[in-house]
Amino acid sequence: MKYWNKRKKYQLIYMLVDFVSAMLVWMAFLLFRWLVYEGRIFSINTVLIPMFNFYWPLLLYPLGCVLVYYLSGYYLRPLRKPYSRELRRTLISSMIISIGAFFLFVIDDPINGHYDRYLTSLLVLFAIQFVGCYFPRLLVTFIAHKLDDVAPRRYIIHSIDEVHEFEKAHAQHPYDEVILDLRSKTKENDIYLLINRLYPANVEISVVPSLYDMLTGAAVIADVADQPLIPITEHKMSDAGLCIKRAFDVVISLIALLLFSPVYLLVALVVWCTSRGPIFYRQERIGLHGIPFNIVKFRTMRIHAENDTPQLSLHNDPRVTRVGKILRKYRLDELPQFWNILRGEMSIVGPRPERRYFINQIEEKAPYYCMIYKIRPGLTSWGPIRVGYTDTLDKMIRRLNYDIVYMENMSLGLDLKIMFYTLGVIFNGKGR
């Protein structure tokens, strides 16, 4: 089974275990309340017909637990996670869940008539939540390690010319990780071209560091039994940050699709009435892991604007319709991309995706373009804000450099700043 399929399998296993555990935790907490506070020692048969909040929390509590665990980044890397990190994340998540559930469900319990009962209820809920969640998780993790089901298959490349052997072997029995051990003198451009070829394989890529890399702290020790490596596909943002970023993308795109639905209808009607051709324009772009996807826009050019050779949009481009100029000025043509965001092909903030034709030209001057494949492309980013529309290859490279700086400094706060500046660009009509 592929490593990435194993990852999805264990994501589902942990989510199911957490959901069932949370449901049992809530029932155990109610049982504690009945036995200790109400003294119903001889009436446990009424546990399924409680007077206190039961049915709604019985569903909402497990769903809330799974949501908190997801936002904590627990499900992002279900394989090869250290026991210490599992303990730490479960402890912090249990604190958040118990405090949230206390104020949502428990604080209105009429039986909590005294301050000491409030505090006792909170502490008991936290204790039951932590124990009831941590030990089932620990059991799953222990069994997975015991079965050696989480050990990755690694392929080591010692030479640029060995990539063909990897591609053949990967096609027959997929690998999970590729380590570049290029200790001989290798041109930097060749290394980037190699990484560019490896990205679509959807594997983790690492490089054996030189002495300089180790002295400057670029190397990372993932396991004490392993040699130090420089992770290429590793994210700079924390697991929790990545999950919160994705959740933010989903929520905002849903709100945008619903809130701007009258705008969508109006723009679609105007495009249809003023220019012959389809309302939407779909174009293949290169996204996460170097995988192509179709980006969706409102059509702003006349049909057959490009023949066989792709062309960059120029200032006062005669191919752009009169309505298209207005749509571009306020970036209304990009509203349908919230659908791409909802599908997981894009993010609200991230490097703008390009076509393969132009990527090939960029890589001749900037072979490190492949480095942005580690994150989802975005609706906006620091590059488009600083450079604007890219009508030349040099501008595309400048935008790339800004996007790489963004990628190396990714944070939720930086995303909010970029979104704020983007709104300024839109309201001032500087989209083009």
**Is the confidence at residue 258, as pLDDT, over 60?**
yes
* Lowest mean per-residue pLDDT among 11-25, 124-138, 271-285: 271-285
252 versus 160: the higher-pLDDT residue is: 252
Whether residue 122 sits in one domain with residue 72:
yes
Whether residue 134 sits in one domain with residue 161:
no
* Lowest mean per-residue pLDDT among 162-166, 248-252, 423-427: 423-427
| Alpha-carbon separation of residue 51 from 17, 29, 55 (angstroms) | 28, 14, 10
Residues 6+ positions from 217 with CB-CB distance below 8 Å: none
Count of domains for the chain:
3
pLDDT at 110: 62
Section 125-153 average pLDDT: 86
pLDDT at 41: 52
**Is the confidence at residue 16, as pLDDT, over 60?**
yes
The residue from 231, 248, 269 where one domain ends is 231
Asked if the structure places residue 36 within a domain, the reply is: yes
Whether residue 419 sits in one domain with residue 276:
yes
Whether residue 226 sits in one domain with residue 307:
no
pLDDT at 346: 96
pLDDT at 162: 84
Whether residue 268 sits in one domain with residue 223:
no
Q: Express as a percent the part of the chain with pLDDT over 90.
A: 37
Section 216-240 average pLDDT: 71
Section 31-41 average pLDDT: 70
**Is the confidence at residue 49, as pLDDT, over 70?**
no
pLDDT bracket for residue 174 (50, 70, 90): confident
**Any idea what DSSP says for residue 152?**
P
Asked if the structure places residue 186 within a domain, the reply is: yes
pLDDT at 109: 65
Average pLDDT, the chain: 83
* Lowest mean per-residue pLDDT among 81-85, 187-191, 213-217, 339-343: 213-217
Whether residue 174 sits in one domain with residue 130:
no
**Is the confidence at residue 168, as pLDDT, over 50?**
yes
84 versus 419: the higher-pLDDT residue is: 419
**Chain centroid to CA 399:** 22
pLDDT bracket for residue 209 (50, 70, 90): confident
pLDDT at 45: 47
Asked if the structure places residue 400 within a domain, the reply is: yes
Residues 6+ positions from 81 with CB-CB distance below 8 Å: 141
**Is the confidence at residue 283, as pLDDT, over 80?**
yes
pLDDT at 348: 95
* Lowest mean per-residue pLDDT among 164-173, 206-215, 308-317, 370-379: 206-215
**Is the confidence at residue 1, as pLDDT, over 50?**
no
**Is the confidence at residue 304, as pLDDT, over 60?**
yes
> Which tens digit of pLDDT belongs to each residue from 378-412?
999 888 888 877 778 888 999 999 998 898 889 99
> Which tens digit of pLDDT belongs to each residue from 324-347?
888 888 889 999 999 999 999 999
pLDDT at 19: 96
Asked if the structure places residue 217 within a domain, the reply is: yes
d(CA 425, CA 420): 9
Could you tell me which of 126, 119, 18, 124 has the C-alpha nearest to residue 67? Answer: 18
CB 199 within 8 A of CB 205: yes
Asked if the structure places residue 134 within a domain, the reply is: yes
51 versus 401: the higher-pLDDT residue is: 401
Whether residue 398 sits in one domain with residue 260:
yes
d(CA 178, CA 60): 42
**Is the confidence at residue 270, as pLDDT, over 60?**
yes
pLDDT at 428: 74
pLDDT bracket for residue 95 (50, 70, 90): very high
**Is the confidence at residue 179, as pLDDT, over 70?**
yes
Asked if the structure places residue 357 within a domain, the reply is: yes
Q: What would the DSSP string read from start to end of 85-151?
A: HHHHHHHHHHHHHHHHHIIIIITT-TT--SHHHHHHHHHHHHHHHHHHHHHHHHHHHHHHHHTTTTP
147 versus 280: the higher-pLDDT residue is: 280
d(CA 432, CA 323): 13
**Any idea what DSSP says for residue 358?**
H
Whether residue 336 sits in one domain with residue 195:
no
Amino acid, res. 143? I
The residue from 118, 146, 174 where one domain ends is 146
Per DSSP, the three-state class of 164 is: helix
Whether residue 261 sits in one domain with residue 214:
no
Per DSSP, the three-state class of 230 is: strand
* Lowest mean per-residue pLDDT among 198-202, 227-231, 255-259, 370-374: 227-231
Whether residue 347 sits in one domain with residue 386:
yes
Whether residue 66 sits in one domain with residue 36:
yes
Range of the domain at 66: 3-146
Backbone angles phi, psi at 235, to 5 degrees: -85, 150
The residue from 129, 146, 163 where one domain ends is 146
Whether residue 227 sits in one domain with residue 246:
no
* Lowest mean per-residue pLDDT among 51-55, 139-143, 245-249: 51-55
Section 264-274 average pLDDT: 92
Asked if the structure places residue 432 within a domain, the reply is: no
